[in-house]
Amino acid sequence: MTVRTYTPRVQDPSRVAALVPGELRLRTLRLGADAERAFLGNTGTLDPHFLRHFTGAGLLDRFGRALAERSAVRVKEWLEACEFFGRVRRRVRAPVVADIAASHGLVGALYALFERSVAEVRWIDRSVPESRAAVLAAAVEVAPWAAAKLRADDGWLAERGAALPAGAALVAVHACGALTDDVLALAIARGGPVAVLPCCRPHGRSPAPAAVARALGGDTGFDVDRTYRLERAGYTVRWDAISAAITPMNRVIAAWPTRE
């Protein structure tokens, strides 16, 4: 396993200018207009400059403050993780949750902080960035109970996935290309709920009919096929999205075994 260094990026003003107001709305993070302007489109680090936007006494604000004090993650990573978690947490949870392609580990940390029914979160990634240790420290500072729940189980999904218990909930944010399909296949094999935010799709290997891909676009064609696969395996599937102002790769696919 390798440890990556973390390189912060600077804000891209053209991206902010290009945002359409209707796209801006965040649902999980309740930010004022001033804070939304500061966060959305910012590709830099969530650093102490952002502390003034985390003024509440609630756990999410306290976690945000602890992350910002450590300059632990990028603003975009924070927004993505919070908004994704907010969309899927009710349907996709189990005593064991695996945050696959976890990288910094924010999604898993949010499960440990906020979901009482979750006893254990496993972070799985073949490569661990320095930001992970800072995320863990921030989580434990604001929620000491998270220490007993958060477990680094890093390595290749093909190895670590095999050790997950039946019924484990799987979450994966931007698990590149076919890794998302591996996550869905693992969820079906384990019989637990799953949520993904797909990113690049391996279009050359698209299983969607060419007509569907042409009419709806290759990415949507790919996700339609994923949906069929899940439904055939007995899952109820929902599509949702996080704000396109956070990422253009914003479709959320959540699925859980259909009760008879």
Tell me which residues touch ligand SAM (CB under 6 A): 77, 80, 101-103, 124-127, 156-157, 173-176, 179
- The least distance separating ligand SAM from the CB of residue 252, rounded to whole angstroms, comes to 13
As given in the structure block, the two tokens for residue 186 are 């693992």
In three-state secondary structure terms, 235 is strand
Contacts of 89 (CB under 8 A, 6+ apart): 110, 111, 114, 115
For residues 111 and 89, is the Cβ–Cβ distance under 8 A? yes
CA 248 to CA 40: how far, in whole Å? 12
- The least distance separating ligand SAM from the CB of residue 242, rounded to whole angstroms, comes to 11
Beta bridge partners of 171: 99, 195
Q: Which is nearer to ligand SAM, 44 or 210 (CB)?
A: 44
For residues 139 and 109, is the Cβ–Cβ distance under 8 A? yes
Q: For the chain, what is the radius of gyration of the CA atoms?
A: 18
Q: Which is nearer to ligand SAM, 77 or 219 (CB)?
A: 77
Q: Which is nearer to ligand SAM, 148 or 176 (CB)?
A: 176
- The least distance separating ligand SAM from the CB of residue 84, rounded to whole angstroms, comes to 8
- The least distance separating ligand SAM from the CB of residue 128, rounded to whole angstroms, comes to 8
- The least distance separating ligand SAM from the CB of residue 124, rounded to whole angstroms, comes to 6
- The least distance separating ligand SAM from the CB of residue 226, rounded to whole angstroms, comes to 18
Q: Which is nearer to ligand SAM, 156 or 239 (CB)?
A: 156
H or E element at residue 120: strand 120-124
Q: Are strands 2-4 and 127-129 parallel, antiparallel or unpaired?
A: parallel
Contacts of 99 (CB under 8 A, 6+ apart): 105, 107, 108, 111, 121, 122, 123, 124, 171, 172
Q: Which is nearer to ligand SAM, 33 or 183 (CB)?
A: 183
Q: Which is nearer to ligand SAM, 61 or 154 (CB)?
A: 154
In three-state secondary structure terms, 192 is coil
